[in-house]
Every structure is written in C-alpha cells, then in structure tokens.
Structure 1
C-alpha cells in the first residue's frame, strides 16, 4: 500500500464567517465587524496560499488551507501519521479557533503550536494573568469588572489604570481614553465595553515604558529562546486602540495602503539599546516554554521601561503570521519569507 504524501493542513476562521455568525447572534453589524477584524490574519494570508502550497511542494509536502467550519470533515478523511495541523486562530468567546487543535488531538494528529488548553486560556486575560503570576512572571495584577460592577477590585495605583476587554484582543485599549485616572471612569469604560461587545474588562495598574513584541517560530525542532525576536514597536502612540488595529490589518488595512494612508510602526531591536531588558525577556520566554508549555510558534507583548524593568502584558499562541512584525522576524532570524518559514517548520516535524 502506497504511503500517503505528508500534508500540512492550515485551519483558519474567515472574517466573514465570524461576522455573519456574530450578526446572527444579535451583535450590531459595526461592532461585529470590529470583533471579526481580529481574524484579519486569515484575510491577509489567503493571497499567499498558493505560495505556501509551492513552498510545501518543494519540501515534499502537500498543503491544504481549510476553513474552520470544514475542519472536522476534512480531518476525518486524513491519516494522522502523515498529517500535521496548524491552527491560525485561537478563540473561546467571539472566535472558535481553539476547536481545531482539540479536533486534532481527538483524531490523533500532530500539531504545530501549544497544547489545545492554551488556545482557550490565552484569550481569557484575567485567568491567564493569574496563571502567569503563579509562574512568577512580571505580569501586572488586575481587577475584573462587568457592566459597571466589580467582580474583582483592582489594586491601588498612583499612575492610574489601564482598561481593556478581557476576551477581545485584550492587549489594546478600545478607545483613546482607555488609560483611566480614576476607578469611576474605569467602571464607565466597562459599561461601554459591555454595551458594545458584551465583554468584561480587566483593570490593571498603568505601567510606563515602550511597547515590545517578542516573536518565536521554531523552524527546527528543539529551538529555544535564543531564536526569539525581540523588538520595540514604535507607532507614535502610548498604546494601540481599535482604530489603530483596524488601520493595520485586513480589508481596512488594504484600503489604507491603497489610499496612501498606511503607516507601519517602526521595529527596533531591544538589544541595540537595552541589552539587559532583552536578556530578561528571553528568560521570560524560556519560563513560558518550560512552565506554561508554549512551543513551535507564539508571541507575547511587553512594556519595557528605561531602567530595564519589564512588564509582561499577554501571550498569544496564534501570532499574526502575515503581520509586518512576524514577517520581519522570519527574515531577520531565519532568512526566510513567511511561506518558506512556515513550510520549513512543517517539514521539520513531518520528516
């Protein structure tokens, strides 16, 4: 009997499928479109599926891009010994991507990425923050509010607080006033978030510093924190808002490029100016890999102060692969364009 050709299956949840489902479930169309925009990596990567297929073919693999709603049926027809599943999106609330690695585990398929339990944990920022704190990592403590009521009161803070959705791309503040100088305003923000998106908010002490993105792709098995890419992400603002996010990715980002209004944030290696902070971030990455179970592909966001103090904000098991920062990481760390980096990673697991 002929052995099946090794195959990479990339499971992705399209923006439109999410938008239609959210509207059907009662979300206002404009708010549903904002929520679905977090799946823009599916939109942005789709034009490169042919390039991915070619890159896989050069390495002896076949490739299939599979929409999330079709994943169960497709996997039922594949052989676990020769099939690798790579999930492009997480999600337990607005998105459903965490179902894909669970389906893969149920079918006995190998996967790229963390254990499926982390696909659910990472999107709940209050719970994930508690786990990160228990691991001794420098995550700001947090309160939790729902529609103007405290579920957990936040810690005191002389610098004010930062308010963000708990399960919706929660590294960002939705609005420019997401930094709050009093807790009454924080509760008002929680009412606005609940009204618009139906989500709780976490309320953390505001931490100063520059925004940092740490990116990881283990092109070769056994790759450790030495392969981490650590860069300041300078966009000109203190923090990213929903409007900022919409302007960078998906259809809105493409429209901004077409109109000449697209401004890509500047990436600057942290090690160039703050080597001590870079070393601390790599230690955090090693702890995340050992203690939390991150592997293969992930990212995390931090704030770094001028004195090298480091604050871990969140981790992602499904980093935005087609985003400018991850592409830059693949080039600078591995000397590969995105499609080749993904194909090389898959081939190293299948052969």
Structure 2
C-alpha cells in the first residue's frame, strides 16, 4: 500500500476467528460462542463494507477492511502520509483487537480513536474503575473475586450488589441472578464465571435508575461533548443479560431477526426527560476527554436515577457502531447513515 492515495484501513477481528482460537484453548463450544459474540459488530458491519468503500470513494478515499490476523503485515506496508487506521473491534485477554492501534503507532500511522493504552484499560473494569475514581468521577466502588476467593472486598451496601465479569463485554456472564443481596452470593457467581470463562468478577454496590448510553462520533474533528447523543435504553428489564445481548447482535441476532423475534430496546433522549442529568453526563464526558484522553469515537454507560443522580458504569473506545443505538445517534446528531458518517469522519481526518 506504500505510495497509494489516502486510504481508510478498518481493522476487525471476526467472530469465527475468535471462536476457533477459544476452542483450541480448551473453552467449551457454548462459552466460545458467548465470548466471541462480543465481536458481533464485525459480523454485522461486514455486509456494508462495499457501501463503506463506495462512501469513501465519493470522498476521494480508498478503503480496505483488514482481518486482525493480517494486520501486522498490512500496516507495515501502509503509507504513513496517507493512511488512517480505524480499529473496529477492541479487546484484551479473550480478544486481540487492542493490538491494532499499538501496531499503528509502531508503524507511525494515524488512527481514529483513543490512545492504544485506553484500549487495554477499558477492557479491565476493576482497573478502569480505579482510574475513573481517581479522576473524581461518580463510579461505584468495586470488589474483586477470583473463583470463590475475595481479592478485594466491596464496601457495605444497603441496596445489594451487582456482579459482572471483569474483562468480558457484551453482557457476557451477566445472568438474571447477577443482582444479589449479600456478598456471600458473589462468591458462588464468581466460581460460576471462573469455571465458564476463566475470568474474575467485579462486585459493585447496586445502583438504581435507568440505563443510559452516551454515544460520540466526532465527524467534525473539533466536536466536543455537545455532540454526545444521550439516550435511555429501555429493554424492558432492570438490566440487560447475556441472553438479551446475544439476541440482538451477530450471527445469533441475525437468526433472531430472520425468525421475527427481534425487538430493539426503546430509545428516549435524556434531554427531553431529565435535562439536568444530561448536562451532568456532558460534564463527565468533558472530564474524560480532557483527563483520560477519549476522542473521535467512544461510548459511555450510565445509570440515572429519578432525582438526576448519575452513576458512570464504564466507557468503551470501540462502541458497537452497527448497533441500533449508534445508528440512531448518527441519524439524529449528524443526519447521516452509519457508513456515510464513518467515511465523512475519515475524510475530514485525512483531508
């Protein structure tokens, strides 16, 4: 690719490649299916690669979708002056996408998204929580369980606790009984998660409220927190489980839609219902952009109570771009479909 014109290089890890690697590492087929489902956006966006290439071409850009196993060779051959690397699927431990922005930096290539160090941090909920707390952000304090043993005990809580895997995403390992009353129950959940996925669990005081997703794409490179799309994501339950997530995305989601059983959660703009909470979320996002280095594209998850109390749950540097909520954000904020929004973002960076 040396000497070619401006090119967007989209790096992604396919679900199947992850699934096969997990099987080879001794995971059960069920666990491998659940874990690899985290990479569903790679599956869901692939049918639109031709459309994305066309949207890039109308803006004078080349486009290349690169599977992660090929990325080292491809990036080494990219032209530093005219290539832009966008990592679609991140991850550590079970996933490997976090290597892509590091390889881009090694090869002196420009990137879309946060610094590569944040690709690792956001995938470790316990460590990320410690950093967010140090920035004086409203994150629930967490305990940590490995197997059936406490590594760090959580604070006392009158509202019970919520238990989730530390390094897995897409609601993997979150079951209908993940909200517990007493800490002893966390040890049993910790053993179940460790047996299935070989992961620790974080144990946080349960926080009430509705689930909120804040999405961000800086099509305009100078865009700030005012460009956030902040919505309640009401899926009909108190929290989304692994089964809920798998029904929406990837190969399982495709089958669900084909069978007519697909139902997207309702999206309600927080500004229209609780404008004070929305303003608090923008201030938190500004703090994360300045203090943590989030930029270009990211998402934030919150719980928002009726009195406008805001709890920051986690951040993502590779939000699910093909997901219904991010597509809705691109239409509402930028008046563009997803592939047009991606192509325009890249064109303004390379241009």
TM bin, normalised by shorter chain, reads over 0.9
Looking at structure 1, the residues matched to 228 and 273 of structure 2 have their Cα atoms a distance apart, in angstroms, of 17
Aligned to 2:150: 150
Stretches of structure 2 that go unaligned for 5 or more consecutive residues are: none
CA contact (8 A) 1:172 1:239 kept: no
Aligned to 1:212: 212
Which segments of structure 1 move beyond 6 Å, counting only runs of 4 or more? none
Please identify, of 196-205 and 69-78, the stretch whose mean Cα deviation from structure 2 is larger.
69-78
CA contact (8 A) 2:212 2:303 kept: yes
CA contact (8 A) 1:165 1:199 kept: yes
CA contact (8 A) 1:163 1:203 kept: yes
Quote the offset at 1:4 in angstroms.
2.7
Aligned to 1:119: 119
Aligned to 2:344: 344
Aligned to 2:335: 335
Quote the offset at 1:171 in angstroms.
5.8
CA contact (8 A) 1:163 1:173 kept: no
Looking at structure 1, the residues matched to 121 and 170 of structure 2 have their Cα atoms a distance apart, in angstroms, of 13
CA contact (8 A) 2:232 2:270 kept: yes
Aligned to 1:102: 102
Please identify, of 51-60 and 252-261, the stretch whose mean Cα deviation from structure 2 is larger.
252-261
Quote the offset at 1:172 in angstroms.
6.4
**Aligned runs of 1:36-55 on 2, under 5 Å?**
36-55=36-55
Quote the offset at 1:183 in angstroms.
1.1
Stretches of structure 1 that go unaligned for 5 or more consecutive residues are: none
* Aligned residues: CA RMSD: 1.0
SS of the residue corresponding to residue 346 of structure 1 reads helix
CA contact (8 A) 1:298 1:318 kept: yes
Quote the offset at 1:220 in angstroms.
1.1
CA contact (8 A) 2:170 2:245 kept: no
Quote the offset at 1:166 in angstroms.
0.1
SS of the residue corresponding to residue 74 of structure 1 reads helix
CA contact (8 A) 2:215 2:229 kept: yes
Looking at structure 2, the residues matched to 33 and 112 of structure 1 have their Cα atoms a distance apart, in angstroms, of 29
SS of the residue corresponding to residue 52 of structure 2 reads helix
Question: Could you say if the C-alpha distance between residues 130 and 239 of structure 1 is closer, same or farther in structure 2, counting changes exceeding 3 Å?
Answer: same
CA contact (8 A) 1:161 1:206 kept: yes
Q: Would you say 1:134 and 2:134 are equivalent positions?
A: yes
Q: TM-score, normalised by structure 1?
A: 0.98
CA contact (8 A) 2:3 2:79 kept: no
Kindly provide the CA deviation profile for residues 131-160 of structure 1, in whole angstroms up to 9, marking residues without a partner as x.
000001000000000001000001100000
SS of the residue corresponding to residue 81 of structure 1 reads coil
Aligned to 1:90: 90
Looking at structure 1, the residues matched to 261 and 339 of structure 2 have their Cα atoms a distance apart, in angstroms, of 27
SS of the residue corresponding to residue 81 of structure 2 reads helix
Aligned to 1:15: 15
CA contact (8 A) 1:173 1:239 kept: no
Looking at structure 1, the residues matched to 207 and 216 of structure 2 have their Cα atoms a distance apart, in angstroms, of 24
Quote the offset at 1:170 in angstroms.
6.9
Aligned to 1:237: 237
SS of the residue corresponding to residue 164 of structure 1 reads strand
Looking at structure 1, the residues matched to 128 and 70 of structure 2 have their Cα atoms a distance apart, in angstroms, of 29
Please identify, of 109-118 and 171-180, the stretch whose mean Cα deviation from structure 2 is larger.
171-180
Please identify, of 35-44 and 89-98, the stretch whose mean Cα deviation from structure 2 is larger.
89-98
Aligned to 1:264: 264
Looking at structure 2, the residues matched to 349 and 233 of structure 1 have their Cα atoms a distance apart, in angstroms, of 31
Aligned to 1:324: 324
